[in-house]
Structure 1
Amino acid sequence: MKIFCSKDALLSAVNAVQKAVSSKNTLPILQGILIKAEQQSLQFAATDLEMGIRCEVPAQVIEEGIMVVPAKLFSEVVRKLPDTTITLEERDKAITICYNQSEIILNGYDPEEFPLLPDLLDPISFTLTTTVFKNMIRQTVFACAVEENRPVFNGSLLQIESSSIRLVATDTHRLAYSIAEIPNPEELNFSGIIPSKTLSEIYRLLRDEDEILTINFSNNQVVFKFGSIYLVSRLIEGQFPNFKQVIPQTCETKVNLSVRSFLEAVERASLLSRDKSGANIIRINVEENELRIDQTSEFGKISEQINVELEGKSVMIAFNAKFLIDALKVINSEQIIFELSGPFSPGVMRPLDDPNYLYLVLPVRTS
């Protein structure tokens, strides 16, 4: 195998696939990146057997071939290369990297041992714009559970029904829900739980300009294709909870307030709300078109007031400050309606001008 390639092309391919390289697996081959040269392109691939990423970049291929390079070392070498044409040559599993009048030789792995990324047979297929899906991920993935004792909460439920696509994430203390319209002329349906790691990786790889994203599904795998990227992931097995049952259909109190004012007030109050146990609880009092946060701790005291529009009953309620901040940071609207029903019922945030998003958060019981 022998190819000529720019440093930028090598770097973009390495950056695209490196998060799929296994960090925990004991199989040495999974700590490598597969590089395949054919026609006039280089195909890079990496997998940890849970997620795999493939990426293609242009190259001048003199001699077709395939090799597996040590991912960590190869990516560090590529970053340090000068901005010039790079030659890659493979002989007997050793990779020679030539630039200017210099060369580096790396020992590689046997390509025969590398697990191939699957192409799905007879998949269900949908398309939507990348900017829409990127925003849906941004507004939901943070609500996935981090602890791994219940795997269904370590991912987001992706549902497609008629012309709607929705992402739902919950860690049992809060729930984030986003929905969008997609073309679905054949009225195909799908429901599967996608690992949060996969969604975070897609978010990182998606660019901010509109491209077409194709999503393919089989029974236990999902594939995302956009630009030169092919990302395959297993689906999480198990039953996602019935999220529709936990979203209140009525409320006793509606508070219309500024996202920015509320976010800044909660962030300031949270600085004084951390106690010795690590809890970060703030107490909110809403009455007569005013939302007040009064916080006293061993660090000091803070009193925040925000003008709001109140409809319904006054209420006093406590929340984990982080759970409020996480949601307020991803809401695109300037105003929200915060729906409350007393100190022990969940609060629901809805952007005033966006019916396609909601965030539910459970209150904290305080003495």
Structure 2
Amino acid sequence: MLVHVKRDELLAIAAQTAKAAPKTATSEAVLGIHVEADSRRSMLTLTATNYEIVIRASMGASVEQSGSVVISAALFPAAIASLPEQGVDLETEHPGQLTIRSGHARFRLAALSGDKYPMPELPFPDDTLPVSGLRSLARNTLFAVAEDGVPSLPMKCVRLHVGPDGLKASASNGFCIMEADGDKQCKGQIELLLPARSLKVLASLSNDSDVYEMGVTGKSLVFWSGTLLFSARLVEGKFPNTRGVFEQFKCQYSVHLDAAEFIRALEVAESVSESNHRVELAFGEHEITVSAESACGRSSAPVKALVLNAPKQPFYYNSRKLLEYLRLEKEKITLEFDKSGLLAVRSGSTRYVQSPMRAPVQAAETGKAA
């Protein structure tokens, strides 16, 4: 193999494909990136997989001799990044070795023959839909996905729904729900569960302006940009009826306030909260007070607000998840509560629901006495 490429382009696709390589594996080849030079197409193609996702990226190249090798996913991008010149030569001068040259710099890296790599099958979908805005869609939903300790696979996924109104995404960890609108021009009729880890990787490869062709082939969802192909295995199972929660929600109380001020108050309260991150929201005539108490002490911070039909009793929430949502918001928001304290926020293209927590024992006993 002998190929001449531009350093920055090579570094970009090497960094992209390395995101699919596993950290550990029983096969040495799977830990690497498959590098293939094709003289007929004047193309250099890199492929990596961890069996959950596949990333394949291509670039134009001057190929004198076709060939393929498997190179370390950790070393290859690092070596390319350190090269001094834009012009880069990749050559297999000796079996089991890839030579990388640029200016006065030279690397000789151990390599496996390309036929040792377990190359995944990547059939292209018969039907595709154009989609963009995936980075924002991921940012707006991934925080609400269940953590690794939860046994339910669907709860570790983001549900993607393509309908007549465009693409929508939903995530839930059991006590909060996040729904976000995506590309309104992506219209069709499909619903699927994409693992959160896979969506996170795809988002890291993407800008909101990137347009992909998206389609299902077999049990995988494929995204194709023209030079980058990303494939992720889908999950089968039943996802919670999150839409029903929003439809059945009945607002009993509401508070209109500034998101930034509310965030600051939550951060003050959280500084002394218990390990369960419980904070109290108490409602006044023209403000709400955010507070928390633990063995370390007590903290509280008021937030000016327009309070409509305030409840007599305080409500309690997990501040960590609430903060993760609120940091997506930048302006005025309206907090809506049902009679039991279920919290809903509808802001622009997002809709959020969070269940209340139990009151601490002392507060619960005080409420009963009153």
TM-score w.r.t. the length of structure 1 is 0.90
Contact (CA 8 Å) 1:128, 1:214: kept in 2 or not? yes
Q: Residue 353 of structure 2 aligns with which residue?
A: 360
- Asked if 1:100 is matched to 2:99, the reply is no
Whole-Å Cα distance in 1 between the matches of residues 210 and 97 of structure 2? Answer: 38
Whole-Å Cα distance in 2 between the matches of residues 244 and 101 of structure 1? Answer: 61
2:74 counterpart SS class: helix
Cα distance, 1:181 vs structure 2: 5.0
Cα distance, 1:286 vs structure 2: 1.7
Change (3 A) 1:282 1:12: same
Change (3 A) 1:269 1:227: farther
Contact (CA 8 Å) 2:268, 2:300: kept in 1 or not? no
Whole-Å Cα distance in 2 between the matches of residues 128 and 254 of structure 1? Answer: 36
Cα distance, 1:301 vs structure 2: 3.1
Letter paired with 1:56: S
Cα distance, 1:281 vs structure 2: 0.9
**Aligned positions of 1:307-326 closer than 5 A:** 307-314=304-311, 315-326=313-324
- The farther-off stretch of 137-146 and 116-125 is 116-125
Contact (CA 8 Å) 1:9, 1:58: kept in 2 or not? no
Whole-Å Cα distance in 1 between the matches of residues 86 and 188 of structure 2? Answer: 49
Contact (CA 8 Å) 2:170, 2:177: kept in 1 or not? yes
Whole-Å Cα distance in 1 between the matches of residues 117 and 42 of structure 2? Answer: 22
- Asked if 1:214 is matched to 2:213, the reply is yes
Whole-Å Cα distance in 2 between the matches of residues 263 and 41 of structure 1? Answer: 50
Q: Residue 346 of structure 2 aligns with which residue?
A: 350
Letter paired with 2:350: Y
Of residues 123, 129, 137 in structure 2, which corresponds to 1:120?
123
TM-score w.r.t. the length of structure 2 is 0.89
Letter paired with 2:168: R
Cα distance, 1:126 vs structure 2: 1.2
Identity %: 21
- Asked if 1:239 is matched to 2:235, the reply is no
User: How many matched pairs?
Assistant: 354
**Aligned positions of 1:1-367 closer than 5 A:** 1-38=1-38, 39-90=41-92, 91-120=94-123, 122-129=125-132, 132-148=133-149, 149-183=151-185, 188-208=188-208, 210-226=209-225, 228-247=227-246, 248-273=248-273, 275=274, 278-314=275-311, 315-331=313-329, 333-342=330-339, 344-351=340-347, 354=348, 356-366=349-359, 367=361
CA displacement, residues 299-355 of structure 1 (integer Å, 9 cap, x when unaligned): 333221111112223251011110111001123x5111111124x44211112xx1x
1:124 counterpart SS class: coil
CA displacement, residues 39-71 of structure 1 (integer Å, 9 cap, x when unaligned): 333211100111011112332222222221121
1:109 counterpart SS class: strand
Contact (CA 8 Å) 1:32, 1:109: kept in 2 or not? no
Whole-Å Cα distance in 2 between the matches of residues 180 and 47 of structure 1? Answer: 27
Whole-Å Cα distance in 2 between the matches of residues 179 and 70 of structure 1? Answer: 39
Cα distance, 1:223 vs structure 2: 0.8
Whole-Å Cα distance in 1 between the matches of residues 182 and 14 of structure 2? Answer: 32
Contact (CA 8 Å) 1:66, 1:111: kept in 2 or not? yes
